[in-house]
Each structure stands twice: as structure tokens, then as C-alpha cells.
């Protein structure tokens, strides 16, 4: 049917959506030419319009759904398609598609032709699961087609439009955060719009006061943190917002003001002022209690985080005498979770504040067999900075950022000659790349699992267990 259609920008074409690509776009093919279709799901037949053409592929948007997929599901969110969420796809099929993406990535990019996941673990809770949300204040609201002509474009409190640093979608309800988060958003919006001094920060002109509203929720202790990020310090100016939130929401146990004077559009402040309660919330994983400050890293899905760490424990198969390295350890959540299973654990992390949190949580839980070392893992081992008192590892746990390990780290890691490497990743592409490097240096993939930490999004968490030949 599409044999004679010329694929170029503006072309309209009927397509059958075959699968999902990493990133959440539907995949269709015409004459073996791949077209990625925004917001399409497997099983749909669509009339699509090409908006980008490249040498090996094209990208398109849906103009009309001609036939609906049997996997289609009624969505709860009014703007899921803007946020690139997968709510329109049944959750069971989400798991299938994510697993297919991991397997395809390892086969194509990693060169593991027979790679297959040993286990696929869905999330126990598929809505209201996130324990951290970060919303942006902005004077540049993205106005949707169905919104009134006279809507105020000078204020928004919500999420970034995909691919836009300057445009914010005004959010009233987000179904992946606890319900109280929606109510806090509503009150915060009303207060700010009624108080002219509470101007959103403009990333173009670098003028304005309010930058971010960050919420942290505890699922096991019911703690709740509100972190208001501003461009400069002025508690009196902030008072209408902070006082109203504390008055309306007695559930709040911690309120802080992070100040970011830099141009960088990040919620990580240069310094912090405690406005109410504790400077942290507490959360429990297993038998452990963690203090989590505003800028601490913690798995964003508490329930699945515990599942993930339990699977890591099973993969390692502790005997009790292991020396373990936890690379990119962050605030030490994995190290501490596994501490009673190993002889000694050494956590390596470059961010000093994360290490301070890790050490504090070790003390909080009376854990004495875990040490945390400051280390830039891009260069740390190559430059011979490992203290002589630190023994060689039997097991290495790797949980790097989305970009994966630095090439030098990936090449050096086999020199440690650990019997087991457990590699955790939120990006199967870089994980497959690094696994290939480890394979070339003598490691085989023994087991692999996928733990869904992010229902209704395209994000994936996968774990591979590699053993030394």
C-alpha cells in the first residue's frame, strides 16, 4: 500500500505500529524503512504525518487512529501524551515491550545474540508510586490547543515540555505521585498567582524568584518534605507560600528552602535553609531506616526499590565472607541494605553530600562493616588512588548514571578480578555497551532481570549478573 510513497517531511502515510522503541515512540516499517511515531502503541493502524526525515529513519506524529490496538487502555491523565507517558498501553503490554527493548538492545548493540531476560518483575503499584516529584515555576506556560484563548501565559507550575528548556506544561494532577501532591500543587499555584512578589524565575533573562517546587514522600513512615528552590535568599518574600502550605497541610514534616543562584536549571541548591521540622524525611527499606535530605539520591519507587535490592542480593548469593565494592554508591542505600550479608562493603561516590548522607545512615542503623570513599570513578582506579588498606573485591556492584560507566572505568573494572559483577542500569543501551566491554575482558552474563520501577513511562531498570571465566 505504501510502496510508491515518497518519505519526506510533510508526507502522510498509513502505518501499522509493530512495537515500541526505547523512548516510548511506536515503531513502524515501510519497505524496511523505519518510522518512529510519537504517542503510537503496538497494534494500532494510524494515518501519520512525517515531521523529520533522516538517512536511516523518519519521525512522525499521529494524524488519525484508523484502527485501535487491542492493547489500548483508557487513560487517567489528561495530558499523558504531552509527557510521553504510556498510559494508553495496557500495563501487561508495557512490561512485554520494555522486556523486548532490553533484549533487542543487548542483541544488537552488545552483540549477545542469544540474550534473553531470565525474569521480568512488574511493579506492585502502578499509580501514585513516585516518592519524589520536581515541578518547575515558569513565566512561559505552554498553552494546549483546547485551553481558552485568554489563559494566563505568564505563569506555570508543572513539568518541562519534551525537548524544551523554556516551556512548562501547567500540571494540576499527576497520577504517578501520591494524591496529596496534587493538592499541594493547587494551593501553591493559587498563592503564587495572588502574590506578585512570588515571580517565577525566567531561564532566558535570569530574572525572578521561584525556580522549583520539589516534593518527597515517604511510603513507610508518612513523612513529607516540601523543598522550595529559589534564585536568591529571601525568607520574608517566601513567607506567603511557605506559611500557607504549612497551614493547609499538617502532613508536612519537613520544609526547606534551597537557593540556586546559578544559571544552571537544576533544583540542587548551593545552600539550604530549614523552614520547618527536620532537614530530612525518614524512609524504611527492609529493616533499615534512611534519612533522606532534599538533595539525596534515593530510588524514586520505594516499593520497587526494595524489590530491586532483594533481587541483587539473590543474584550475588552471599556466603558471608565477601568483600564487596559498590561503585557509584550515591547515598549508600544498596551498600547498607546488603551490609549484614557481606564481610565488608566499600562504597565509592564522587558527591561529598551523598557520602555524608551514607555515613549518617550507617550510624543510624549501627552498621560498622561499610566504608564510603570519595572517588571520581572516571579516573579513580586508573590513577592508583585506592588505599592499600582496602582489599580486592569478590563482588562489584555497579549502578552508574544514565550515561553508563566512563570508558576507562569499564576497561579497568576487569583488572579488579572480582568473581561477580552485578550491573544495575536505567539505560539498557549504555549497559549493553559496557557489558560488551566486560565480556571482551573475560566476563559472561550469567543472569539478567528487569524490574519495572517506572510504570506508564518508557524508563527501564535492568540488572545483569556477570561472572569471571
Spatial contact of 308 and 424, defined as CB atoms under 8 Å apart = yes
Two domains, one topology: 12-72 and 96-126+301-468: no
pLDDT digits (tens, 9 = 90+) for 294-346: 988 899 999 999 999 999 999 999 999 999 999 999 999 999 999 999 999 99
Cell 531498570, located at residue: 461
Provide the pLDDT for residue 3.
67
Classify strands 132-138 and 370-374 as parallel, antiparallel or unpaired: unpaired
The predicted pLDDT at position 23 comes to 85
List 174, 192, 329, 426, catalytic entry: 426
The CATH number that domain 96-126+301-468 falls under is 3.40.50.150
Does residue 426 have an active-site annotation? yes
The residue extents of the domains of the chain are: 12-72, 96-126+301-468, 132-285
pLDDT at 294: 93
Phi-psi region at 428: left, alpha or beta (left = phi > 0; alpha = psi -120 to 50): alpha
* pLDDT value, residue 162: 74
Q: HSE-up of 153 (CA within 13 Å, CB side)? A: 10
Q: Tell me which CATH code domain 12-72 carries.
A: 2.40.50.140
Q: Which residues of the chain have pLDDT under 50?
A: none
Q: What is the pLDDT of residue 164?
A: 74
Q: Which fold has domain 132-285?
A: OB fold (Dihydrolipoamide Acetyltransferase, E2P) (2.40.50)
Residue pair 122/95 in contact by the 8 Å Cβ criterion: yes
The confidence score (pLDDT) of residue 150 equals 78
Amino acid at each position: 500500500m505504501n510502496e510508491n510513497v515518497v518519505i519526506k517531511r510533510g508526507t502522510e502515510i498509513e502505518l501499522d505500529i509493530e512495537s515500541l522503541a526505547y523512548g516510548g515512540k511506536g515503531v513502524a516499517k515501510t519497505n524496511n524503512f523505519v518510522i518512529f511515531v510519537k504517542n503510537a502503541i503496538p497494534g494500532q493502524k494510524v494515518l501519520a504525518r512525517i515531521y523529520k526525515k533522516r538517512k536511516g529513519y523518519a519521525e512522525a506524529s499521529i494524524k488519525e487512529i484508523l484502527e485501535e490496538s487491542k492493547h489500548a487502555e483508557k487513560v487517567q491523565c489528561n495530558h499523558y501524551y504531552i509527557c510521553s507517558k504510556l498510559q494508553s498501553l495496557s500495563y501487561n503490554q508495557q512490561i512485554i515491550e520494555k522486556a523486548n527493548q532490553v533484549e533487542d538492545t543487548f542483541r544488537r548493540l552488545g552483540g549477545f545474540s542469544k540474550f534473553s531476560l531470565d525474569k521480568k518483575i512488574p511493579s506492585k503499584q502502578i499509580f501514585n508510586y513516585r516518592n519524589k516529584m520536581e515541578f518547575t515555576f515558569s513565566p512561559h506556560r505552554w498553552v494546549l490547543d483546547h485551553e481558552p484563548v485568554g489563559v494566563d501565559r505568564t505563569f506555570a507550575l508543572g513539568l518541562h515540555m519534551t525537548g524544551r528548556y523554556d516551556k512548562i506544561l501547567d500540571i494540576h494532577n499527576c497520577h504517578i505521585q501520591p494524591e496529596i501532591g496534587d493538592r499541594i500543587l493547587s494551593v501553591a499555584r493559587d498563592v503564587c498567582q495572588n502574590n506578585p512578589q512570588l515571580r517565577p524565575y525566567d531561564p532566558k533573562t535570569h530574572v525572578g524568584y521561584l525556580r522549583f517546587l520539589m516534593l518527597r514522600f515517604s511510603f513507610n513512615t508518612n513523612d513529607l518534605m516540601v523543598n522550595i528552590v529559589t534564585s536568591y535568599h529571601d525568607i520574608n518574600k517566601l513567607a506567603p507560600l511557605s506559611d500557607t502550605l504549612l497551614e493547609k497541610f499538617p502532613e508536612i514534616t519537613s520544609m526547606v528552602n534551597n537557593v540556586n543562584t546559578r544559571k544552571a536549571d537544576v533544583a540542587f541548591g548551593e545552600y539550604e535553609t530549614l523552614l520547618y521540622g527536620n532537614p530530612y524525611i525518614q524512609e524504611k527499606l527492609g529493616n533499615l531506616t534512611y534519612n533522606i535530605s532534599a538533595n539525596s539520591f534515593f530510588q524514586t519507587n520505594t516499593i520497587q526499590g526494595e524489590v530491586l535490592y532483594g533481587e541483587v542480593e539473590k543474584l550475588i548469593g552471599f556466603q558471608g565472607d565477601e568483600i564487596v565494592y559498590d561503585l557509584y554508591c550515591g547515598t549508600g542505600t544498596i551498600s547498607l541494605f546488603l551490609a549484614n550479608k557481606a564481610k565488608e562493603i566499600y562504597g565509592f561516590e564522587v558527591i561529598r553530600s551523598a557520602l555524608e548522607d551514607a555515613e549518617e545512615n550507617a550510624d543510624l542503623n549501627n552498621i560498622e562493616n561499610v566504608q564510603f570513599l570519595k572517588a571520581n570513578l572516571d579516573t579513580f582506579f586508573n590513577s592508583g588512588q585506592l588505599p592499600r588498606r582496602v582489599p580486592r573485591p569478590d563482588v562489584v556492584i555497579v549502578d552508574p548514571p544514565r550515561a553508563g560507566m566512563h570508558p576507562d572505568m569499564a576497561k579497568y573494572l576487569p583488572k579488579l578480578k572480582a568473581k561477580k559483577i552485578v550491573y544495575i542500569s536505567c539505560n539498557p543501551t549504555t549497559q549493553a555497551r559496557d557489558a560488551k566491554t566486560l565480556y571482551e575482558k573475560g566476563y559472561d552474563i550469567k543472569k539478567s532481570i528487569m524490574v519495572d520501577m517506572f510504570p506508564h513511562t518508557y524508563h527501564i531498570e535492568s540488572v545483569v549478573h556477570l561472572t569471571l571465566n
